């Protein structure tokens, strides 16, 4: 019964690699409005049963109510698309490109799909073709190749002529169509392609009739790629080339609700506590939560599974053994996490920062805290020729060696033998002298050693130290302890360097030097009271840093910004500590008085610009979109610049933080919003510099750093 192995139609693909997307078909096939209704109908009306599909695929929401995304986000996407389809040719100048950005599993694609269903809009998706180059034949019959870039371009620009193939489906006669790019073309990995890509978007804006939607995953900083910041930099967005909608991670309550729905659909009996745990562990990633749910809980027997009567007894036995529904599942959930979550990490961090020590009275034993015990071969007992064969029948008999009390293990001093020529001395218990008594520590009152905790947290040592570093100060009461802890951080950092990180023992050193030393030097940890653990500000800082860098690079490429020396008139506005005088005094006025386009043209002659950047600049000024750059302000009087800029800046920052759809979105931190709004207000250089300096002198220093390095 070759029933459901390759059940779905093969994606319909024509030569240049565009495909009637799978979910376009999925959305058309579905008739029932409700999730559950859809699933139930799956058995009868739809030709295939869904039991073989992953839970994730079965639980795709089809209505806006079923989405785990915040209502406002759905409205935003819907609003954008509705606006797009409803506007006439008069507004054809605005952007036709929408970029959905968010962490993975936050419902970007699902939202788009649901909205498209509502609007009765088909989706045409770009899928990277299998072979890199497409073979075609010209008239002479010769084979020639087409690069992926050409394919992608022709896909975008020609898609308005052809619509998705609708095979065996009559509902697809809608006139609305949307182009989706989720699978970024591989050629875009190259940095050199980025300006051309922006040009492509601009020409798309000029010519196309269908909206183009990119769905991008926002990844952790530090991961390779950076597709978002590289391909869709803020500065290009500000020119109106594309619009951005940012998604947040799914809220825990929403996640729990969605999981409960999934359980209903898949007929899974899962206890509430287990769902809660999964929702917490998933860290806003609903797909990961769904996967964890599928892994941890099997459906009720006979519900969604194919019938296998012969196995039934056996399976129920397994179920009884593992008691999947209640007892073992929550504990197993610890081993199965959605993905690298901070949840477990926070536990580990807390365990290290809140470590307690046993009072000496209760400890009793002479031993240290749970350190690995000395193996028997270390004690150098002469090997007694006891028959091994008798022991081997009961294998675990050897293991209790590890759990013997330390005192009993310790070899009497006179039993020592020569260890290979060296006179073996007994490891006698060493005690600290009186003047170092403050370094004495009672045994740790913990189930695991700090090193073990670090290992169990399953994150890289680097990440772990970031979290510790962010939070450790709150737990220290003594300044001297704090000093020692800071020293521990610097020392542990040594083991995070590249050369050390390749070695397997680096993490062990790290565990000893940082995790244990933190525990060690904190003589009176503040364990009482609730102190929230925070994630490292390093992440946000790096994001802001990237933004500022891209802004600066943009300004630099277009030659509208350069290190400015301020005239006397302007000095009252600028900060005193600016040290970027380059002797460019003459240029300041020039930039101010002319329109930016002219300044560009002039600057291109005078200023040496990198080849790529120059090309981008030139094409920008010639393409029709450059005349539509938003709110370009011409400043005629340099003296007025500062005040104008500052008022603009305050006004604009309030407005742009209010509307999360435009600009950088509500997620951004304060300073970022300021910069964005400053940029969108005016493109003249001096005002930008002034406003930045007013807003945040520190950031301005950053900029100068960048410019220096660029030059």
Pairing of strands 97-102, 134-137: unpaired
- Our CB check for other proteins shows the closer of 208 and 231 to be 231
CA atoms within 13 A on the CB side of 186: 9
Interaction of residue 249 with other proteins, rule CB under 8 A: no
Q: How far apart are CA 55 and CA 289, in angstroms?
A: 11
Per residue, what are the HEC states of 1-41? CCCCCCCCCCCCECCCCEEECHHHHHHHHCCCCCHHHHHHH
CB distance 546 to 221 below 8 Å: yes
Nearer CB in complex with other proteins: 463/553: 463
Asked if 466 is part of the footprint of other proteins (rule: CB under 8 A), the reply reads no
646 binds other proteins (CB under 8 A): no
Is 589 near other proteins (CB under 8 A)? Answer: no
Q: Please report how close the Cβ of residue 655 comes to other proteins at its closest, in angstroms.
A: 33
x/- contact string, 218-237, with other proteins (CB under 8 A)? -xx--xxx------------
Rounded Cα distance, 235 and 688, in Å: 14
CB of 169 to other proteins, least distance (A): 18
**Contact residue for other proteins among 20, 39, 76, 182 (CB under 8 A):** 182
**Which residue, 269 or 584, has its beta carbon nearer to other proteins?**
269
- Please state, in angstroms and rounded to a whole number, the distance separating the CA atoms of residues 243 and 223: 24
C-beta closer to other proteins: residue 158 or 315: 315
The 10 Å Cβ neighbour count of residue 289 is 29
Assess 520 for contact with other proteins (CB under 8 A): yes
- Window 302-321: residues binding other proteins (CB under 8 A): 305-306, 311, 314-315, 318-319
Complex with other proteins: residue 224 or 408, whichever CB lies closer: 224
Residues 525 and 475: beta-carbon distance below 8 Å: yes
Interface residue with other proteins, options 133, 173, 264, 392 (CB under 8 A) = 392
**Pick 141 or 420: Cβ nearer other proteins:** 420
Closer residue to other proteins in complex, CB, 335/361 = 335
Buried residues in 193-227 as b, exposed as e (16+ CB within 10 A): bbbbbbbbbbbbbeebebbbbbbbbbeeeeeeeeb
364 near other proteins (CB under 8 A): no
Cβ atoms within 10 A of the Cβ of 111, count?
26
Q: Which of 149, 455, 632, 696 binds other proteins (CB under 8 A)?
A: 455
Residue choice 499, 528, 586, 636 for contact with other proteins (CB under 8 A): 499
194 binds other proteins (CB under 8 A): no
Among 406, 486, 613, 633, binds other proteins (CB under 8 A): 406
Whether residue 203 contacts residue 623, with contact meaning beta carbons closer than 8 Å, is answered with: yes
Q: Indicate the DSSP class of residue 299.
A: B
Site size with other proteins, rule: CB under 8 A: 128
Task: Choose, by CB under 8 A, the member of 65, 183, 445, 480 that binds other proteins.
Answer: 183
Among 412, 413, 421, 532, binds other proteins (CB under 8 A): 421
Cα torsion angle, 155, 156, 157, 162, sign: positive
Beta carbon of residue 662, minimum distance to other proteins (angstroms, whole number): 27
584, 564 contact by CB (below 8 A): yes
Total residue length of the chain: 711
For every residue of 90-141, DSSP letters joined together read GGTTS--EEEEEESTTSSHHHHHHHHHHHTT-EEEEE---SSSSEEEE-TT-
Q: Is the dihedral of CA 246, 251, 255, 258 positive or negative?
A: negative
Q: Report the chain's terminal Cα–Cα distance, integer Å.
A: 68
Question: Is 667 among the residues that bind other proteins (CB under 8 A)?
Answer: no
Q: 151, 244, 291, 656: which one contacts other proteins (CB under 8 A)?
A: 291
**Residue closer to other proteins, measured from CB, 223 or 709:** 223
DSSP assignment letter at 163 = -
Task: Give the span between the Cα atoms of 23 and 183, in whole angstroms.
Answer: 14
Query: CA–CA separation, 57 vs 273, rounded Å?
Result: 24
Q: Does 378 sit near other proteins (CB under 8 A)?
A: yes
Footprint on residues 321-340 left by other proteins (CB under 8 A): 322, 324, 328, 331-332, 334-340
Q: Does 523 bind other proteins (CB under 8 A)?
A: no
Least distance in angstroms from the C-beta of 554 to other proteins? 25
Among 413, 435, 572, 611, binds other proteins (CB under 8 A): 435
Nearer to other proteins, 417 or 670 (CB): 417
Contact 74, 115 (CB under 8 A): yes
Q: Is 376 an interacting residue with respect to other proteins (CB under 8 A)? A: yes
Q: Does 56 bind other proteins (CB under 8 A)?
A: yes
Instruction: CB nearer to other proteins: give 338 or 638.
Output: 338
Does 47 participate in binding other proteins (rule CB under 8 A)? Answer: no
Reduced to 3 states, what is the DSSP secondary structure of residue 143?
strand
Q: Which residues, including other chains, have CB under 8 Å from residue 295's CB and lie 6 or more apart?
A: 336
Structure tokens of 481?
């302890």
Q: Does 368 bind other proteins (CB under 8 A)?
A: yes
- Work out whether 531 is an interface residue with other proteins (CB under 8 A): no
- Work out whether 493 is an interface residue with other proteins (CB under 8 A): no
Distance in angstroms (rounded) separating the CA atoms of residues 513 and 511 = 6
**Contact status: 408 vs other proteins (CB under 8 A):** no
Binding flags for other proteins, 134-173, as an x/- string (CB under 8 A)? ----------------------------------------
Could you tell me the CA-to-CA distances from 441 to 429, 431, 475, 522 in Å, in that order? 15, 11, 18, 10
**Shortest CB 248 distance to other proteins, Å:** 15
Which of the stretches 62-70, 513-521, 533-541, 597-605 binds other proteins when contact is defined by CB under 8 A? 513-521
| Interacting residue with other proteins among 28, 287, 558, 635 (CB under 8 A) | 287
Of the candidate spans 39-47, 206-214, 426-434, 541-549, the one that interacts with other proteins by CB under 8 A turns out to be 426-434
φ, ψ at 660 (rounded to 5°):
-80, -15
Give the footprint of other proteins on residues 64-123 (CB under 8 A). Answer: 103-105
């Amino acid at each position: 019964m070759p029933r459901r192995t390759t059940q779905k139609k093969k994606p319909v693909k024509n030569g240049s690699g565009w495909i009637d997307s799978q979910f376009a078909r999925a959305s058309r096939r579905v008739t029932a409005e409700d999730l559950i209704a859809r699933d139930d109908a799956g058995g009868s009306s739809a030709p295939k049963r869904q039991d073989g599909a992953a839970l994730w695929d079965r639980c795709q929401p089809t209505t806006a109510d079923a989405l785990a995304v915040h209502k406002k986000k759905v409205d935003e996407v819907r609003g954008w698309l509705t606006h797009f389809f409803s506007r006439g040719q008069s507004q054809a100048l605005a952007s036709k490109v929408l970029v959905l950005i968010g962490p993975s599993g936050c419902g970007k694609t699902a939202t788009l799909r649901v909205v498209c269903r509502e609007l009765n809009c088909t989706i045409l998706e770009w899928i990277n073709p299998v072979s890199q180059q497409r073979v075609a034949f010209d008239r002479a019959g010769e084979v020639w190749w087409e690069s992926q870039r050409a394919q992608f371009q022709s896909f975008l620009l020609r898609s308005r002529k052809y619509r998705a193939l609708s095979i065996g489906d009559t509902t697809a006669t809608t006139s609305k169509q949307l182009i989706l790019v989720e699978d970024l073309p591989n050629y875009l990995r190259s940095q050199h392609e980025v300006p051309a890509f922006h040009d492509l978007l601009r020409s798309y804006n000029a010519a196309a009739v269908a909206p183009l939607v990119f769905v991008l995953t926002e990844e952790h900083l530090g991961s390779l790629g950076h597709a978002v910041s590289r391909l869709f930099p803020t500065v290009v967005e500000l020119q109106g080339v594309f619009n951005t909608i940012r998604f947040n991670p799914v809220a825990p309550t929403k996640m729990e609700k969605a999981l409960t729905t999934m359980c209903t659909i898949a007929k899974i009996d899962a206890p509430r506590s287990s769902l809660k745990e999964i929702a917490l562990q998933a860290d806003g990633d609903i797909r990961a939560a769904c996967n964890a749910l599928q892994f941890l809980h099997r459906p009720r027997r006979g519900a969604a599974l194919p019938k296998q009567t012969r196995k039934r007894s056996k399976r129920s036995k397994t179920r009884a053994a593992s008691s999947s529904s209640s007892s073992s599942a929550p504990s197993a959930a610890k081993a199965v996490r959605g993905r690298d979550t901070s949840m477990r990490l926070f536990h580990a961090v807390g365990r290290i920062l809140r470590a307690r020590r046993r009072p000496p009275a209760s400890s009793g034993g002479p031993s240290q805290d749970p350190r690995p015990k000395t193996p028997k071969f270390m004690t150098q007992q002469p090997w007694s020729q006891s028959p091994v064969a008798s022991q081997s029948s009961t294998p675990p008999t050897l293991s209790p060696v590890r759990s013997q009390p330390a005192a009993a293990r310790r070899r009497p001093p006179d039993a020592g033998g020569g260890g290979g020529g060296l006179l073996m001395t007994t490891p006698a218990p060493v005690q600290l002298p009186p003047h170092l008594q403050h370094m004495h520590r009672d045994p740790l009152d913990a189930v695991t050693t700090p090193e073990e905790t670090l290992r169990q947290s399953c994150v890289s040592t680097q990440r772990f130290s970031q979290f510790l570093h962010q939070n450790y100060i709150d737990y220290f009461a003594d300044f001297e302890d704090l000093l020692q802890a800071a020293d521990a951080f610097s020392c542990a950092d040594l083991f995070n360097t590249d050369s050390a990180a390749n070695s397997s023992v680096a993490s062990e050193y790290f565990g000893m030097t940082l995790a244990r030393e933190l525990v060690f030097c904190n003589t009176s940890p503040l364990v009482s009271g609730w102190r929230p653990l925070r994630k490292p500000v390093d992440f946000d800082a790096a994001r802001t840093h990237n933004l500022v860098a891209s802004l600066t690079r943009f300004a630099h490429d277009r030659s509208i910004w350069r290190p400015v020396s301020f005239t006397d008139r302007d000095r009252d506005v600028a900060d005193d500590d600016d040290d970027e005088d380059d002797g460019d005094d003459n240029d300041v006025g020039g930039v101010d008085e002319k329109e930016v386009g002219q300044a560009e043209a002039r600057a291109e002659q005078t200023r040496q610009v990198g080849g790529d950047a120059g090309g981008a600049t030139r094409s920008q000024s010639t393409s029709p979109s450059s005349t539509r750059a938003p709110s370009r302000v011409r400043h005629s009087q340099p003296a007025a610049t500062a005040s104008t800029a500052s008022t603009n800046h305050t006004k604009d920052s309030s407005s742009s933080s209010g509307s999360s759809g435009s600009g950088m979105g509500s997620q951004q931190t304060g300073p970022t919003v300021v910069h964005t709004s400053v940029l969108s207000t005016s493109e003249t250089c001096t005002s930008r510099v002034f406003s930045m300096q007013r807003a945040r002198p520190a950031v301005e220093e950053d900029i100068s750093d960048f410019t220096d390095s660029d030059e």
